[in-house]
Chains A and B, each alone.
Chain A
Amino acid sequence: MSWKLFWLLVEAARLTILLSVISVSIGFLLSSLVCAAVMSTHRSARIAGKLFVSFFRGTPLLVQLLLIYYLLPQIGLNVPSEVAAIVGMSLCTAAYQAEILRGGFSSVPRGLIEAANMCGFSKFAIFRRIRLPIAVQLTIPALISEAIMMLKSSSLVSVVGVVELSRMAQDLAASTYRPLELFAAAGLIYLIINLVVAGFGLQLEKRMQWGRT
Chain B
Amino acid sequence: MTFDLDLIVLYLPDIVRALGVTILLWLAGSALGLLVGFLIAVARRYGPRWLDWALLAPVELIRGTPFLVQIFLLYYGGPFIGLSLDSITAGLLGLTIYGAAYYSELWRSGFVAIPKGHVEAAQCVGLNRTQTLRRIILPEMTMLLLPSMVNMTILMLKETAILSIISVPELTLAVSALGTKYYAFVEGFAILALVYWALVEACSALGRYAESRLSKYRFAVS
Tell me which of B64, B165, B196 contacts A58 (CB under 8 A).
B196
Q: Which residues of A contact B192 (CB under 8 A)?
A: 63, 67
Q: For the complex, what is the distance from the CA of A99 to the CA of B7, rounded to whole Å?
A: 37
What class of interface size applies to chain A in its complex with B?
A: 35 or more
Q: Is A113 an interface residue (CB 8 A)?
A: no
Whether A60 contacts B64 by the Cβ 8 Å rule is no
A32 to chain B, nearest CB (A): 23
Whether A166 contacts B80 by the Cβ 8 Å rule is no
The stretch among B11-19, B69-77, B84-92, B109-117 that forms the contact with chain A is B69-77
Whether B80 contacts A180 by the Cβ 8 Å rule is yes
The stretch among B40-48, B137-145, B182-190 that forms the contact with chain A is B182-190
Q: Is A175 an interface residue (CB 8 A)?
A: no
Q: Is A62 an interface residue (CB 8 A)?
A: yes
Q: Is A74 an interface residue (CB 8 A)?
A: yes
Tell me which of A58, A66, A71, A190 contacts B201 (CB under 8 A).
A58
Whether A183 contacts B76 by the Cβ 8 Å rule is yes
Q: Is B119 an interface residue (CB 8 A)?
A: no
Whether A152 contacts B164 by the Cβ 8 Å rule is no
Whether B64 contacts A156 by the Cβ 8 Å rule is no
Q: Is A187 an interface residue (CB 8 A)?
A: yes
Q: Which residues of A contact B189 (CB under 8 A)?
A: 63, 66-67, 70-71
Mark contacts of B52-88 with chain A using CB atoms, 8 A cut-off: 1 yes-contact digit, 0 otherwise.
Answer: 0000000001001111111011001100110000000
Whether A191 contacts B65 by the Cβ 8 Å rule is yes
Tell me which of A57, A60, A66 contacts B176 (CB under 8 A).
A66
Mark contacts of A47-66 with chain B using CB atoms, 8 A cut-off: 1 yes-contact digit, 0 otherwise.
Answer: 00000001101111111101
Q: Which residues of A contact B66 (CB under 8 A)?
A: 152-156, 166, 187, 190
Q: For the complex, what is the distance from the CA of A180 to the CA of B69, rounded to whole Å?
A: 11
What is the interface size of chain B, counting residues whose CB is below 8 A from a CB of the partner? 37
Which single residue of chain A is at the shortest CB-CB distance from B76? Answer: A179
Given the known A-B contacts A55-B197, A173-B76, are A62 and B65 also in contact in the complex, defined by CB atoms under 8 Å? Answer: no
Whether A74 contacts B196 by the Cβ 8 Å rule is no
Whether B67 contacts A152 by the Cβ 8 Å rule is yes
Mark contacts of A145-186 with chain B using CB atoms, 8 A cut-off: 1 yes-contact digit, 0 otherwise.
Answer: 000100011111011000000100110010000011001101
Whether B65 contacts A187 by the Cβ 8 Å rule is yes
Given the known A-B contacts A66-B185, A191-B64, are A186 and B69 also in contact in the complex, defined by CB atoms under 8 Å? Answer: yes
Q: Is A194 an interface residue (CB 8 A)?
A: yes
Which single residue of chain A is at the shortest CB-CB distance from B197? Answer: A58
Q: Which residues of B contact A59 (CB under 8 A)?
A: 158, 193, 196-197, 200
Q: Which residues of A contact B1 (CB under 8 A)?
A: 74
Whether A67 contacts B190 by the Cβ 8 Å rule is yes
Q: Is A195 an interface residue (CB 8 A)?
A: yes
Given the known A-B contacts A64-B193, A152-B67, A194-B64, are A70 and B162 also in contact in the complex, defined by CB atoms under 8 Å? Answer: no
Given the known A-B contacts A180-B73, A180-B81, are A60 and B65 also in contact in the complex, defined by CB atoms under 8 Å? Answer: no
Whether A183 contacts B193 by the Cβ 8 Å rule is no
Whether B176 contacts A184 by the Cβ 8 Å rule is no
21 contacting pairs across A/B (C-beta < 8 A): A54-B201, A60-B161, A60-B162, A62-B161, A63-B196, A64-B193, A67-B186, A70-B186, A71-B186, A148-B64, A156-B66, A156-B68, A166-B68, A166-B69, A166-B72, A173-B72, A173-B76, A179-B77, A183-B73, A183-B76, A195-B64
Residues of A within 8 A of B (CB): 54-55, 57-64, 66-67, 70-71, 74, 148, 152-156, 158-159, 166, 169-170, 173, 179-180, 183-184, 186-187, 190-191, 194-195
Residues of B within 8 A of A (CB): 1, 61, 64-70, 72-73, 76-77, 80-81, 154, 157-162, 164-165, 172, 176, 179, 185-186, 189-190, 192-193, 196-197, 200-201
Beyond contacts A71-B186, A190-B66: 18 other A-B pairs, Cβ-Cβ < 8 A, are A59-B196, A60-B172, A62-B164, A62-B165, A62-B172, A66-B189, A67-B190, A71-B189, A152-B65, A154-B66, A155-B68, A155-B69, A183-B73, A183-B76, A186-B69, A187-B61, A190-B69, A195-B64
